[in-house]
Amino acid sequence: MTRRYTLLAWTAAASTYLLIVLGAVVRITGSGMGCGDHWPLCNGHLFPPLDDIGTVIEWSHRLVAALVSILVATLAGYAWWLKRGAGSGERYNPGSLSYVALALLVIQVLLGAVTVKLELPPWSVILHLGAAMLLLATLLIAATPHPLTPSPELGPVGAQHAAPLHLPLLALAFITVLFGALTANLGAAAACSGFPLCNGQVWPTGGGGGGTLAHIHWTHRLLAYALAIAVTVWAVRTPGWRAKAVLGLVALQVAVGAATVLLGLPGGLQAAHVAVGAAVWAGVVLAAQ
């Protein structure tokens, strides 16, 4: 039964990751209103005519969201069933993370409805992504066994050295993701040309809205650079392969981000940037446990 619970949690986490990537595709392709301002229906239909690419993309996003909802609700129900004993005479308590995931799911669904009804205001889009990232983290933790003794991969010394970096790393990774969403949804992605500097400057100058957008973009880059440095220190101080894998993902993310800017923000690379960024967040969550 514990294996079934773990498999269900992993499936829900993988589906949530797919949902995050599809959400990025919706934004990049401008398909956020592909179902009009209708919710939960799509253009007034439960199964809309798929004669427009924007509708296809947005409807696919909603279908995956429905799948995530079913999986998370099932996970919470299964956790409750296991806690009661599952009729086997032996009780297994998987903890309360599945209930936390269910609560985050409700928040996520409500934010999605608000985002559609208000026609995609940036603040609600960013909160929507933030809730999705927290849901992904919760499901990953729920899916990961937590032994009472330190992991052999870390050992007591490795765990002692790595632990102080866990919470700051998680906070830095989460803030970096949110600033990435802010950069994308405010149209600030094109405000900084060149790499690694912003418009060839250590701190971008210029007045008006363009200057503000450049500052937002540059803040996201500075956070990303800080995350890369922090993960490098963490990987050096932490035995085992998990932190090194996260460092590899961060290096890939920096490369994708640089290529996205230098090649003029092609949609495919923008989607890849979000996909690798979500993978970095997932990797930090898994390796920090």
Tokens representing 72? 């998370």
Residue 96 has pLDDT above 50, yes or no: yes
Count of other CB atoms within 10 angstroms of residue 18:
16
Question: How confident is the model at residue 146, as a pLDDT?
Answer: 57
Whole-model pTM: value is: 0.86
Count of other CB atoms within 10 angstroms of residue 192:
23
Question: How confident is the model at residue 37, as a pLDDT?
Answer: 72
Task: Taking residues 219-227, report their average pLDDT.
Answer: 96
Work out the angle at residue 158's Cα, subtended by the Cα atoms of residues 153 and 162, and round it to the nearest 5 degrees.
110
Question: How confident is the model at residue 1, as a pLDDT?
Answer: 55
Q: What is the mean pLDDT of the chain?
A: 85
Question: Predicted confidence band at 145 (pLDDT cuts at 50, 70, 90)?
Answer: low
Burial class (CB in 10 A: 0-12, 13-18, 19+), 94: buried
Task: Taking residues 252-261, report their average pLDDT.
Answer: 96
Q: Write the single-letter amino acid at 173.
A: A
Residue 86 has pLDDT above 60, yes or no: no
Do residues 92 and 82 lie in contact, with contact meaning Cβ atoms separated by under 8 Å? yes
Question: How confident is the model at residue 206, as a pLDDT?
Answer: 65
Question: How confident is the model at residue 91, as a pLDDT?
Answer: 56
Question: How confident is the model at residue 17, as a pLDDT?
Answer: 97
Question: How confident is the model at residue 122, as a pLDDT?
Answer: 83
SS3 state of residue 38: coil
Do residues 216 and 144 lie in contact, with contact meaning Cβ atoms separated by under 8 Å? no
At how many degrees (to 10) do helices 97-117 and 122-143 cross?
160
Residue 165 has pLDDT above 60, yes or no: no
Task: Taking residues 212-225, report their average pLDDT.
Answer: 95
Give the highest mean pLDDT range of 45-59, 133-147, 248-262: 248-262
Question: Predicted confidence band at 207 (pLDDT cuts at 50, 70, 90)?
Answer: low
Task: Taking residues 110-122, report their average pLDDT.
Answer: 81
> Residue-wise over 256-270: b if at least 16 C-beta within 10 A, else e?
bbeebbeeeeeeebb
Question: How confident is the model at residue 265, as a pLDDT?
Answer: 94
Residue 141 has pLDDT above 80, yes or no: yes
Where helices occur in the chain by DSSP H, the ranges are 2-28, 53-84, 97-117, 122-143, 155-185, 208-237, 242-262, 267-287
What stretch of H or E contains 188?
Answer: none
Q: How far, rounded to the nearest angstrom, does the alpha carbon of residue 181 sit from its chain's CA centroid? A: 10
Q: What percent of the chain has a predicted confidence (pLDDT) above 90?
A: 55
142 vs 160: which has the higher pLDDT: 142
How does pLDDT run across 17-51, given as a tens digit for each residue?
A: 999 999 999 989 988 777 877 777 787 777 787 78
